[in-house]
Amino acid sequence: MKQFPRPVATAGLAAGLALLLAACGPAVPPPAGSGTGSPTATTATATDASAGTSAPATTAAPTPETAAPTKSAAPTTSAAGSGRHDDPARIDVVVNKQRPLEPLDYAPADLRLPDVPLGPGGESAQVRAAVADAVEQLFAAAADDGVPMTLLSGFRSYQTQVSTYQHWVEVNGKAEADRISARPGYSEHQTGLVVDIGDPAGSCNLSACFADTAAGRWVAENAQRFGFIVRYQPGEEDVTGYSPEAWHLRYVGKKTAGSMAAEGTKSLETYFGLPAAPDYR
């Protein structure tokens, strides 16, 4: 189901939170977008970063205002190469302001909703199957440590981002829209490898103060044990292109997440030796 964005000033708390959830991957003030679209079919499944899958067939780049998502072709097996970070079927894909998804309307086929507590907007928080398993393990471990969390957001379709981005272009102009919302096809959430988490109290959800909550501190220290990284960290804005987001967890697999933690590496771009992406080309 797709909902169209409306200003937070006219909505209640739950509706305002839903607007934040549909921004690109990163949500930065003012809040952007609403709703979650339905995925289109592919045969991609989550794999470890060392596993090889070929790049799916690409489609002509749709225009954000008019295009609807189409089915992505099934990938065929190939050895991992220099372009493996371009393949949305792999868990080591890197999506940022200079690395759009190929095809732009990619959607994974193996989406499911993790069996964890949901916050406002979480009913649509599907992720790829292997990621859902990891989310459940992460939430269970946090609960065992006395740190409850809620799931706020997961996969967002290309078409959802079309309406979200276009709304903010109309409201604020293109330059400001590019600051607060991803262009269609450039959202990390579209991979199905990302979750936004929250605290049951909700007062700091999708806000900078989430880093200081029990949930924010716990994931900063423990997310790598379950294959996740905090994707947008303080001091990395000129590399990732986005403000810090303590709630935005990206699944990369235990090997990569553990290596990044051990090395103190704070961005996928740096870890994989890819160019920084502070702005769109």
Residue 261 lies in a domain: yes
Q: Does residue 2 fall inside a structural domain?
A: no
203 falls within a domain: yes
**Identity of the residue numbered 228:** F
80: in domain: yes
Strands (E), the chain: 111-112, 127-128, 150-153, 194-198, 228-232, 245-251
Tell me the mean pLDDT in the region 86-115.
Answer: 96
pLDDT one-digit tens code per residue, 205-245: 999 999 999 999 999 999 999 999 999 999 999 999 888 99
- Identify whether 280 is part of a domain: no
Q: Answer whether residue 188 is part of any domain.
A: yes
Number of domains comprising the chain? 1
CA 166 – CA 78 distance, rounded (Å):
37
Residue 213 to residue 179: CA distance in whole angstroms: 26
Centroid of chain to Cα 179 = 16
Gap between the terminal Cα atoms of the chain: 32
Model confidence pLDDT, tens digit, residues 180-206: 778 999 999 999 999 999 999 999 999
Residue 152 has pLDDT above 90, yes or no: yes
In a domain, 216, yes or no: yes
Phi-psi region of 258 (alpha: psi -120 to 50; beta: other; left: phi over 0): alpha
Residue bearing the bigger pLDDT, 202 or 45? 202
3 in a domain, yes or no? no
Residue 260 pLDDT: 98
C-alpha dihedral (171, 174, 175, 177), degrees to nearest 10: 60
CATH number of the CATH domain containing 112: 3.30.1380.10
Q: What is the pLDDT of residues 56-98, one digit of tens each?
A: 333 333 333 323 333 333 333 233 334 889 999 999 999 999 9
pLDDT at 158: 95
Question: Which of 255, 279, 111 is CA-nearest to residue 191?
Answer: 111
Lowest mean pLDDT among 39-53, 70-84, 130-144, 194-208: 39-53
Containing domain of residue 258, as a range? 8-58+65-271
